Amino acid sequence: MLRKFLFENKESRPPFLKPPLSLPGERVREKLEDELMRLVLIITLPLCFGLILIYKTIFSAPLSHSLSFLVHAIAIIPFLLLAFFYGRKTIRIIRTYRLGFTGEQIVGQELERGRNMGYSIFHDIYNEEKKFNVDHIAIGTAGIVVVETKAKSKPRDNPPKIFYDGKRLAFPDKSYTTAPLDQIEANARWIQELAHKLISEKKNAKCQFNKENPVPAVRVVVYPGWYVDYEEAQKNKATIIVTNDVMLVDKVIKSLKQPFALTNEMIEELQILFDCHLREKNKNLIKY
């Protein structure tokens, strides 16, 4: 609400004719801004309340009434403790969002190099119904490359190495997870459903894909700054690729092959359909 109040101007309207596409980490950036505003309020409100009580005690009562001052001081303590604990929690959330935002920027900027290979790059595709977003997609000769960024802090003592066997990810602290693999699988299926919806709404579409024969989608999970050991995954013929930001374009995107069913006309049509759809989602940015 505060962001809407600050940015809207009913006395004039923006000059832009075409809505912009989302930047890498757009949703995370908004969450980060919200948490920063929350932190300011958490710190400011108890402080202002405390200063008002102190002012009232000093100027409204005789200085000899030290008991009154003590009572007001004690009344401030719960608010200060509340601000302290909520402030610590909010700071941890801010650090997490900042890490995620930076990771999405790095991967998004690296993925932009795919434009030189004929790919169209889109960031932060939001699912309004289920309230989640897909970090990046690249549409080109391999179909739709769906990319999920996972920014994870490196360990201090152990090497930043991830072991990927095709079924789960194992980390230096001996922990493991399958969540990113499940997430990218769900994201890719939704992007395929969205592509089918956009194709079905277009008259005389060149793309001949449907629910039974979906648009080819490559699943990629990226851990920026980490080394990924994926030899076991290759042996097991894993369908999900796990890599880092350095390998994303030069080793992964370049090595992807064009499916036989995908023609240049189909690629161009998919790129235009997604471009128009995602700009339409951002039309509120140019219509105040």
Taking alpha carbons only, the member of 116, 111, 129 closest to residue 218 is: 111
Range 77-97 average pLDDT? 83
Q: What is the pLDDT of residue 149?
A: 97
* C-alpha dihedral sign at 151, 154, 158, 161: positive
pLDDT at 151 over 90: yes
Eight-state DSSP code of residue 224 = T
* Per-domain boundaries in the chain: 16-100, 119-286
Q: What is the pLDDT of residue 15?
A: 82
Q: What is the pLDDT of residue 96?
A: 93
Contact 37, 2 (CB under 8 A): yes
- CA–CA gap between residue 186 and residue 224 (Å, rounded): 21
Backbone angles phi, psi at 202, to 5 degrees: -95, 135
Which residue type sits at 59? F
List, for residues 236-288, the tens digit of each pLDDT value. 999 999 999 999 998 899 888 777 668 889 999 999 999 999 999 988 777 65
- CA–CA gap between residue 29 and residue 101 (Å, rounded): 6
Contact 181, 190 (CB under 8 A): no
- The CA–CA distances, whole Å, from 28 to 6, 93, 184, 188 equal 19, 11, 18, 20
Taking alpha carbons only, the member of 271, 285, 42 closest to residue 143 is: 271
pTM score, whole prediction: 0.85
Q: What is the pLDDT of residue 288?
A: 58
**The residue to which tokens 């339409």 are assigned:** 280
3-state secondary structure of 168: coil
List, for residues 189-247, the tens digit of each pLDDT value. 999 999 999 999 998 888 888 888 899 999 999 999 999 999 999 999 999 999 999 99
